[in-house]
Amino acid sequence: MALAVLLVESAVFFAAFFVLLHSANASVSGMFGPTNEPAAAMLLAGCCIGSLYYSELYDVRTVGSFRTCLVRVSRACAVAALPIGALLYTVLPSGTSWMGVIAASAVTVTTVLVSRKLWLHLLHSRPFTEQVVVLGKTPLARAVIAELQARPNFRVLEALPNRFSRTMKDSEQRLAADRRPAADMGLTRIVVALSERRGRLPVDLLLDAKRQGVIVEDGVQLYERLTGKLAIETLQPSHLIFAPEFGALSVHSMMARIFSVLVAVLGIVVCAPLLGLIALLVKAESRGPILFVQNRIGLDGRTFPLMKFRTMAPLEGRRSEWVKDNGDRITRVGRWLRKFRFDELPQLFNILCGHMNLVGPRPHPASNYDLFMASIPFYGFRSLVRPGITGWAQVRYGYANDLEEETEKMRYDLYYIKHRSLRMDLEILLQTAKVVVLGHECHMGTVLPTPEPLFDERTDAA
């Protein structure tokens, strides 16, 4: 549905700006020329779509209420105002009445508000709302329920918070007692979230529901699809051994490598003045080297020297690698470099040296390698691909400050390794651009409903 909203809004934005430019008879002195009104309208519409995307107005989780939409639309207007104003000033002839500009702006804002209102209505309407039963009482079941309840197009049955104490057997008997077809009950999906299925899986019930057109889905797979991360505690070694996704994807590896090298060369050429300016600022503010060089773990577990602009004052003695233990050392220049990720720019040279790609799991310090290998399940699979300047865990979770948070990021890293593709790389780059442009994290991780370990296999329905 989000794609349909995006396409409709793109068409309306394009039409509004094309009518504006055509009626104003864009000047030949404009950068597009008199015959390129469609190109100018397309670029202006692209600015609008980009601002809506970066305000997360195409994410179903943020379209929860119209009040939230109003706040995000206001933010999107503020983001788009400068580039759209500059473009209109360039392409519109002098003396053009700005009433047309106001009318086009009103059309675009009204379109966004009306489309979001309709979207909200459709998400809560019967044809577009899924009614789901979650079988099980495990931490996995509670995590799946939390994810479903965060989305307006799902309604969880038989597993609402005041029914968490209902046993698995109660749920089965309640469903089996109603002889109406599951589809007539409004049930559209059954999620199996059991840690132990042998002798406890209601096979007849699930087969009957499947025959009636109800979707029956494994809880681990649904959790992965909803959250963009793997439930590593539920993975068995056989899952990784026989999963073709956790092998070498030669086509993706080759294309990603070519793209990374091209971007690195272009980035070094374009950013050369910026690199020089940052080097001067780092050197002027505090003593110490301009670059921070540290051994990191790369492809196949090999170490390499990762380069960053130094953002901390030199350290006397030794501390941990966690950011929270070194916050007092961050310099004023370093704080801004970290905010907009400019401290990572020297890693473009790491890409040329073959150590890294543009997109991939962030390389960890070699000093933490033994700890992570011993403490984080399947940690060695991070070395299956080249590390990256940015990655899925970075745009979905941000910095990690302890072992528990590193384990959480590992779930995202394994998801990337399993699903890596050029389309996913592009999505990561777009999200990274959001951090660079707006200067804030993209915290998209899930807040779990309980403080206990997410997938403790010792707990299940009675």
Residues 354 and 209 in one domain: no
**240 lies in some domain:** no
Predicted confidence at residue 324, as pLDDT, reads 61
Residue 392 has pLDDT above 80, yes or no: yes
**237 lies in some domain:** no
Predicted confidence at residue 459, as pLDDT, reads 36
Predicted confidence at residue 321, as pLDDT, reads 62
**445 lies in some domain:** no
**210 lies in some domain:** yes
Residues 380 and 287 in one domain: yes
Predicted confidence at residue 444, as pLDDT, reads 47
Encoded tokens for 254: 């080759």
Mean pLDDT over the full length of the chain? 80
Residues 116 and 134 in one domain: no
Give the end-to-end CA distance of the chain in Å, rounded to a whole number: 39
Tell me the pLDDT tens digit for each residue of 206-250.
888 888 888 899 888 899 999 999 888 777 787 777 777 776 667
**345 lies in some domain:** yes
Asked if 151 contacts 63 with a C-beta cutoff of 8 angstroms, the reply is no
Residue 371 has pLDDT above 60, yes or no: yes
Can you state the percent helix, strand and coil of the chain, rounding each to 5? 60, 10, 35
**451 lies in some domain:** no
189 membership: H or E segment, kind and range: strand 189-192
Residue 395 has pLDDT above 50, yes or no: yes
Domain edge (last residue) among 123, 141, 167 = 123
**53 lies in some domain:** yes
Measured CA distances, 365 to 11, 302, 308, 372, 419 (Å): 48, 11, 13, 10, 25
Q: Which domain holds residue 174?
A: 129-227
Residues 263 and 387 in one domain: yes
Average pLDDT over residues 59-73: 76
Residues 331 and 223 in one domain: no
Predicted confidence at residue 329, as pLDDT, reads 78
Residues 29 and 159 in one domain: no
Tell me the pLDDT tens digit for each residue of 78-109.
888 888 888 888 877 766 667 888 888 888 99
Calculate the dihedral angle through the C-alpha atoms of 169, 159, 139, 441, rounding to the nearest 10 degrees.
Answer: 170
Q: Which amino acid is at 453?
A: P
Residues 346 and 269 in one domain: yes
Residues 263 and 382 in one domain: yes
Asked if 135 contacts 194 with a C-beta cutoff of 8 angstroms, the reply is yes
Encoded tokens for 294: 């540290």
Predicted confidence at residue 154, as pLDDT, reads 86
Helix (H, G, I), strand (E, B) or coil at 57: coil
Residues 106 and 222 in one domain: no
Residues 369 and 267 in one domain: yes
Q: Where are any strands of DSSP class E within 282-375?
A: 291-297, 303-309, 357-359
Domain edge (last residue) among 193, 227, 261 = 227
Predicted confidence at residue 236, as pLDDT, reads 77
The count of structural domains within the chain is 3
Q: Considering only residues 280 and 315, tell me which one the structure prediction assigns the higher pLDDT.
A: 280
Asked if 420 contacts 386 with a C-beta cutoff of 8 angstroms, the reply is no
**104 lies in some domain:** yes
Tell me the pLDDT tens digit for each residue of 291-347.
999 999 999 999 999 999 998 887 766 656 666 656 677 889 988 888 888 899 999
Name the pLDDT band for 75 (thresholds 50, 70, 90): confident
Residues 268 and 199 in one domain: no
Instruction: Classify each residue of 324-347 as buried b or exposed e, where b means 16 or more C-beta atoms within 10 Å of its C-beta.
Output: eeeeeeebebbeebbeebbbbbbb
Residues 257 and 338 in one domain: yes
357: which strand partners? Answer: 388
Q: What is the 3-state secondary structure (H, E, C) of 92-130?
A: CCCCCCCHHHHHHHHHHHHHHHHHHHHHHHHHCCHHHCE
Instruction: Kindly report the number of other CB atoms within 10 A of residue 71's CB atom.
Output: 12
Name the pLDDT band for 414 (thresholds 50, 70, 90): very high
